[in-house]
Structure 1
Amino acid sequence: MAFRDWAWLVMLMAAFTLSACGDSDQVTGGPPPIEVGALTLNAQPVTLTSVLAGRTKASLEAEVRPQISGIILEQNFREGAPVEKGQQLYLIDPAPFEARLVQAKAALSRARANLKTAQARAERYQILVDSRAVSRQDFDDAQAQYFQALADVETALAQVETAEIDLDYTRVYSPITGLAGRSTVTPGALVTASQAQPLVTVQQFDPIFVDVTESSRELNTLRRAWASGDIERVDEDAAAIVLYFDDGSRYQHPGEFKFADINVDVTTGTFTIRTTFPNPDYLLLPGMFVRAELVRGRMSKGFLVPARGVSRNAKGQATVMVLDKDNRVEQRVVEAAQLIGQSWLVTDGVVEGERVILEGLQYVRPGVTVTQVNPIEPEA
């Protein structure tokens, strides 16, 4: 091939290469615009709550002890089963107390017989002393014997009543309605009056108390917020309390506020709040660790920002990415006061109508202009 033909071929290939490069640049162009999803903030009323740890406690508890000494003959209940108020739980050997009652009644009959004799004598001496047939001293002695016989009758009556009470104590009854615990004695055991160890403990679980603790510092902060009007106080009677088990599951029945302790624990700086919950199925047992969600108050206007849109900077401050009117990204430090459900309550750093980026955060940085393609509706 001649030199001129080679030169022409090289120029043709160079032209083709340049043309291909130009076409490639035209196809790829610059990077595509960043697309994000943003939530437009609208202030709304927000109910503020506190989740406090606590333990369950029986609403009524009775430690059953014997009032007399004797041998247990019968146990008339099943451990762990419900018992009614007034139901007989134990029988203590009644034989010694029946004998004492018979003895007391006999003493009463004797005292009453002596009273009739003394009364008749006093009445006769009353006639005789008026006619001076007996001395005044004899009459006074007859009167004294009569009054002594009256006192003996009263004493005998009291002894009969005491014997009847002791005999009734041989039947040990439940003082409350509830669930019977483990019996500490069995038939044949010797028990003594007012012994330290209870025979059995009966507890009422429906309703059941839940005692939670709150710091006095939080209480003072809340009171200042109430006083300033930042938070509207909610009547305890109108606010239902939600209970959670230690595994995070929610208890099906709402509770009620009962009272707050008037004293602060000097060692922990906390005070106790007592709440009460219905417990018809006995799912709650005394001593269980639970968490109670109590209503602290209501904020008339607050911003709820989903948690996925809130992050922390190197200083630990809460930040969000917002869009200005030109869709330029700005990082904003905010005050995230409380996590409510899956959203943060933001009380400072944003204003009504601002757009907070929730989707595409991994692709943006402050100062970048983006395209909003997915307006996000507020979460219910």
Structure 2
Amino acid sequence: MIAPLRTLALTCAVALALTACKKEEQQAPPPPEVGVIEAKPQTLPLQRELVGRLSPFRSADVRARVPGVLLKRVYQEGSDVKEGQVLFLIDPAPLRAALNASQAELASAQATAANAKAAANRARSLAPQAYVSKSDLDAAEATERTAAAAVQQAQASLASARINLGYAEVRSPISGRAGKQQVTEGALVGQGDVTLLTTVDQLDPLYVNFSMSVDELTQMRAAQAKGALALSGDGKSTVQVKLADGTVYDQPGTLDFSSTTVDPATGAVSLRAVLPNPQQILLPGAFVSFQATLGERNNAYLVPLQALQRDTTGGYVLVVGKDGKVARKNVKSEGQQGSNWLVSGGLDAGDQVIVAGVQKVKEGEPAKAAPWNPAAGNGNGQAPAGAAPAGAAPAAAAKPDAAAAPADAASATSDAAPAAEPNKQ
């Protein structure tokens, strides 16, 4: 009777022990620790990485405006010239002869006008005594007026001849850098058409021509109307060009033109900026990449790159709420600034945005928030390899006991082995 009772008690004890072990196994693990930053609204520059093409500030074609034989090129190709500087010489002999002919025509017209005026004055003095008829007086006065008009016509022809003679010296219309000679000496120029001789480009400043999609430009203007976007402090948008070697050009440019129409072929709007080029490092025709500061974004947030996730619905971040649980927030980003995303919508001031440990948490589950330290470990806010994570001290303390257990078992086995050998025999 006693033996069954002992067996029953032993069975109950074993069952209680197994139940206690299961409860320990079913205990939930501690919430994962994540690195977070506090979302703080800021006024940040709205910047875009764009590509544009350089063009001269002014470009003038130097052409032969009168017919003649090109005698000489006066300037050096590729050199800087001043406005009004002589670049080419055209044979002036035919033009000078035309000027002399115009002068002779003017002298003849002036002599005819003087004779006509004298005849008209004589007729007007005799008319009161009826010594000349009314028709003769009218004819004399008409001849006088015609002679005066002929003088004016001859004067205009003389002025035109002087202008054409001046065109024999082809001058630069603007200051800038003169290009390659297009016509050699001895060629007949200006015969039937206006011959291109060379081109002069003004290289300081330069234009940066680029384009933006109409959707992006419309969104920017809508944000500006709502007060979410404002111009920079001086009221102008600026551009900062990057050179081919990766360095930043030391002269910032200023946006000065925005087209009012959309290119139907590309769906983009043309824009232009003025870029100083005092040392003439940049040359027209080259493509350049630049950072355009198009205004200031109000109530924006900077979020590290690794904190922003994307899926089929768009960009989102995970935050630790006031209840200690992870929540998702869909956000709207306005582009990258350095190692951060500029977020313009979806966040609230004070949100604890998860930066490190995003892969360890799930939406709706608890998480332990700690300030994110970019310098810790590998730069993602996690502890270095081999360091004990927070809350792991008890487990670390239990390791020596676990390690000692095999040693005790081994010693017990070694002690028991000799005693077992006589039995084997």
Aligned to 1:52: 50
Q: Secondary structure at the match of 1:237?
A: coil
Cα gap change, 1:143/1:296 in structure 2, threshold over 3 Å: closer, same or farther?
A: closer
Match of 1:290 among 288, 291, 295: 288
TM-score (norm 1): 0.77
Aligned to 1:208: 206
Aligned mates of 2:47, 2:201 — CA distance in 1: 31
Aligned to 2:341: 344
CA shift, 1:100, in A, is: 1.2
Structure 1 alignment gaps of length 5 or more? 1-32
User: Whose RCO is larger (CA < 8 A, sep 6+)?
Assistant: 1
Can you list the C-alpha shifts for 1:215-267, whole angstroms capped at 9, x where unaligned?
Answer: 11112222332344433455773443222346643221111121211111122
CA shift, 1:303, in A, is: 2.7
Cα gap change, 1:73/1:36 in structure 2, threshold over 3 Å: closer, same or farther?
A: same
Cα gap change, 1:251/1:331 in structure 2, threshold over 3 Å: closer, same or farther?
A: farther
Aligned mates of 2:127, 2:367 — CA distance in 1: 128
Can you list the C-alpha shifts for 1:339-370, whole angstroms capped at 9, x where unaligned?
Answer: 11221124436751526344xx5995657977
Does structure 1 retain, via aligned residues, the 8 Å contact 2:355–2:372?
Answer: no
Aligned mates of 1:121, 1:350 — CA distance in 2: 100
Cα gap change, 1:59/1:194 in structure 2, threshold over 3 Å: closer, same or farther?
A: farther
CA shift, 1:96, in A, is: 0.6
Aligned mates of 2:295, 2:100 — CA distance in 1: 68
CA shift, 1:206, in A, is: 1.3
Aligned mates of 1:231, 1:104 — CA distance in 2: 67
Cα gap change, 1:120/1:324 in structure 2, threshold over 3 Å: closer, same or farther?
A: closer
Aligned mates of 1:372, 1:259 — CA distance in 2: 48
- Describe how 1:218-233 pairs up with structure 2 within 5 A: 218-233=216-231
CA shift, 1:317, in A, is: 5.4
Aligned to 1:113: 111
* AA at the equivalent of 1:237: G
Aligned mates of 1:194, 1:216 — CA distance in 2: 45
Q: Mean alpha-carbon deviation: is it higher for 330-339 or for 88-97?
A: 330-339
Cα gap change, 1:155/1:132 in structure 2, threshold over 3 Å: closer, same or farther?
A: same
* AA at the equivalent of 1:340: Q
Can you list the C-alpha shifts for 1:203-222, whole angstroms capped at 9, x where unaligned?
Answer: 11212111211111112222
Q: Secondary structure at the match of 1:272?
A: strand
Aligned mates of 2:311, 2:141 — CA distance in 1: 103
CA shift, 1:184, in A, is: 0.4
Q: Secondary structure at the match of 1:130?
A: coil
* AA at the equivalent of 2:130: R
Match of 2:251 among 250, 253, 257: 253
CA shift, 1:198, in A, is: 1.6
Choose 1 or 2 for highest CA Rg: 2
TM-score (norm 2): 0.69
Does structure 1 retain, via aligned residues, the 8 Å contact 2:361–2:367?
Answer: no
Q: Secondary structure at the match of 1:68?
A: coil
Q: Mean alpha-carbon deviation: is it higher for 90-99 or for 239-248?
A: 239-248
Q: Secondary structure at the match of 1:199?
A: strand
Cα gap change, 1:140/1:368 in structure 2, threshold over 3 Å: closer, same or farther?
A: closer
Aligned mates of 1:302, 1:137 — CA distance in 2: 93
* AA at the equivalent of 1:339: Q
- Describe how 1:286-325 pairs up with structure 2 within 5 A: 286-307=284-305, 309-310=306-307, 312=309, 315=312, 318=315
Cα gap change, 1:194/1:263 in structure 2, threshold over 3 Å: closer, same or farther?
A: farther
Aligned mates of 2:142, 2:51 — CA distance in 1: 72
Aligned mates of 2:329, 2:123 — CA distance in 1: 109
Aligned mates of 2:139, 2:371 — CA distance in 1: 117
Does structure 2 retain, via aligned residues, the 8 Å contact 1:34–1:364?
Answer: yes
Aligned to 1:335: 331
Does structure 1 retain, via aligned residues, the 8 Å contact 2:39–2:347?
Answer: no
- Describe how 1:151-300 pairs up with structure 2 within 5 A: 151-193=149-191, 195=193, 197-234=195-232, 237-245=235-243, 248-300=246-298
* AA at the equivalent of 1:187: E
CA shift, 1:104, in A, is: 1.3
Aligned mates of 1:193, 1:64 — CA distance in 2: 16
Q: Secondary structure at the match of 1:64?
A: strand
CA shift, 1:167, in A, is: 0.6
Match of 1:85 among 80, 83, 86: 83
* AA at the equivalent of 1:344: W
Does structure 1 retain, via aligned residues, the 8 Å contact 2:182–2:198?
Answer: yes
Percent identity over the alignment is 33
Cα gap change, 1:334/1:135 in structure 2, threshold over 3 Å: closer, same or farther?
A: closer
CA shift, 1:106, in A, is: 1.4
CA shift, 1:183, in A, is: 1.4
CA shift, 1:70, in A, is: 0.5
Match of 2:67 among 69, 75, 80: 69
Aligned mates of 2:371, 2:118 — CA distance in 1: 116
* AA at the equivalent of 1:222: M
Q: Secondary structure at the match of 1:198?
A: strand
CA shift, 1:181, in A, is: 1.4
Cα gap change, 1:240/1:374 in structure 2, threshold over 3 Å: closer, same or farther?
A: closer
